[in-house]
Amino acid sequence: MTVSAPSVGDRAAVDFASLLSTRASRMNASAIREILKITQQPDVISFAGGLPAPELFPLEDVRRAADTVLTKYGPSALQYSTTEGHLPLREWIANRAGITPGHVQIVTGSQQGLDLLGKILINEGDVVLVEAPTYLGALQSFQPYGPQYVEVPTDEHGIDTDALEGVLRANQAKFLYAIPNFQNPTGRTLSLERRRRLLELTAQYGVLVLEDDPYGKLRFTGEELPNLYELGLEMVGGDPDRNHVIYSSSFSKTLVPGLRDAWVQAAKPIIEKLVQAKQGADLHTPTLNQMIIAELVEDVLPRQIKTVKQAYGVRARDMVARIREFLPAEVEHTTPEGGMFLWMTLPGEIDTQPLLAQAVERKVAFVPGSPFYALGGGHNTMRLSYSSATPTQIETGIRALGETIRAAME
């Protein structure tokens, strides 16, 4: 092939758009991100974001831990480190899960774990099963790799496992992406019976399960349930290399998000590929940050989990009470047992996208539910976050939301 070159004088502006990959054309600005821009007016009460409560951050503990690790490790705390992650942190995670550090990969936030798993698993056109609705950020991570999404219906107990069987029979799926605890966006929790059934079914059909569990430790009511990962391990006699569940969790919701420390637990063939993928993606998660987290996991983390779940429990109950007080009876809502979110379903004729503008006029904001559906739909749904709201904001905000919805219903 010979490429003809225009003369130097002819040089036109570079057409950057024509040089982008087809993969890039699958990427879009996050719908939520655009929504958050609208809602970030100073006098608007926003239930739209999903920010952990900053006033609960263990700021002084982080300060002390940073100081401690700089003394304890010296320049090593600031040097390049291994791709797999800081060994004491991986050991702590592995010990709690009954696995080895070789089954644990530290990642730069759960989001990186989702991206790298998408990268090593998804071929263009592969079927990925997702809950309807599901976490928008996961869709954003998987999307560049060109999956074909198939939705699994959900109800108040999470994934409908009867429906799942039909979906598995009708599709040769690569993996099922699930958030069993206090799901983002719905706040729902998958029942124990369904957890077992989901694992049996996926194992039978040779479909991996990607369990995303950022909120699992933040249960403020009800009984703790075993993770899919734990149940999957049980099913194969405790052998992590035969567990078909890949587990992702994070220190973002229990300690702080800004250090970007999370991890993936999986069978060695998955972890080994993940290490290679991560090496190409960012070499390793920042050394200092991993050491800070490792310094906090023994004492600060358990205390912090107690504080956070107690606070979120109060806020969730408060928001649910105000919803019952101020919202039309036709509005359905979930009652979360943990986590940061609840979900509302409005009468069918209301579209929550235009409703948002009306709500912002009344100085309250939420996230319309539609972007959480991989295949669209959910136009009459919305997500509310209570994690960083004060009692006054909850009262005033839900009252204003009630007025907005009533006006729209008329």
Residues 277-336 close enough to bind its own copies by CB under 8 A? 277, 279-289
Residues near its own copies (CB under 8 A), total: 101
Residue 74 interacts with its own copies (CB under 8 A): yes or no:
yes
Residue 81 interacts with its own copies (CB under 8 A): yes or no:
yes
Q: Return the residues of window 378-407 that contact its own copies according to CB under 8 A.
A: none
Q: CB of 240 within 8 A of CB of 202?
A: no
CB of 274 vs its own copies, minimal distance in Å: 9
CB of 364 vs its own copies, minimal distance in Å: 21
Residue 13 interacts with its own copies (CB under 8 A): yes or no:
yes
Site string for its own copies, 337-356 (x = CB under 8 A): --------------------
Q: Return the residues of window 157-176 that contact its own copies according to CB under 8 A.
A: 168-172, 174-175
Q: Return the residues of window 185-204 that contact its own copies according to CB under 8 A.
A: 200, 203-204
Q: Which of 35, 44, 45, 77 binds its own copies (CB under 8 A)?
A: 77
Nearer to its own copies, 141 or 345 (CB): 141
Residue 102 interacts with its own copies (CB under 8 A): yes or no:
no
Written as six digits, the tokens of 92 are 């702590």
Residue 260 interacts with its own copies (CB under 8 A): yes or no:
yes
Q: Which of 45, 48, 52, 381 binds its own copies (CB under 8 A)?
A: 52
Q: Which of 66, 87, 192, 305 binds its own copies (CB under 8 A)?
A: 66
Residue 357 interacts with its own copies (CB under 8 A): yes or no:
no
Nearer to its own copies, 205 or 317 (CB): 205
Residue 1 interacts with its own copies (CB under 8 A): yes or no:
yes
